[in-house]
Amino acid sequence: MQNITGFYLYAVVLVEGRFVMDNFFSLIKSPKTINSERDVRMMAPLVLAYIGDAIFEIYVRNHIIATSNTSVNIMHKRATKYVKAKSQAIIVHALENQLEEDEWQVVKKGRNQKTATSPKNAELIDYKYATGFEALLGYLFYLGKHDRLIEILEKSVVIIEKELSIKGN
């Protein structure tokens, strides 16, 4: 780690096929303290999905940057294949049997939320499951279960890469 004008640079490295985002989640933790697990459980599922969306996006972008040497335009096109609602619905269905009961409850709460927007390029059911998936990521983040969060993110990338290879994308 190197301190440059008050900021610490943390390495993002590939170690034995695993992306290590050293202390990344603790660095971006909100200055507002979430005091307890109860506080997290009381958060609105759409709030959890809001932060979960950002977490998934940055994880996917980091993955693509670490595994590609191409233009930003091509990287963006690749990233959209991972983060679109259909892909996230595929992920959550593939992970369903691997989730703890409380994790699946968060997915269901996120899925069942009414949203003010309607999906432009997705089926409504996929959009709902994507919201549930993003809520799960936010839930794990705010609980401080970073190892579990990373585990789910890693599995998510594998699931979508397998799906893309099957479809020839």
Q: Give catalytic residue positions.
A: 53
Helix (H, G, I), strand (E, B) or coil at 44: coil
Q: Are strands 2-4 and 7-9 parallel, antiparallel or unpaired?
A: antiparallel
Instruction: Provide CB contacts within 8 A for 55, sequence distance 6+.
Output: 25, 137, 138, 141, 149, 153
Q: What are the tokens at 77?
A: 């096109």
Task: For residue 2, list its beta bridge partners.
Answer: 9
| DSSP class of 18 | E
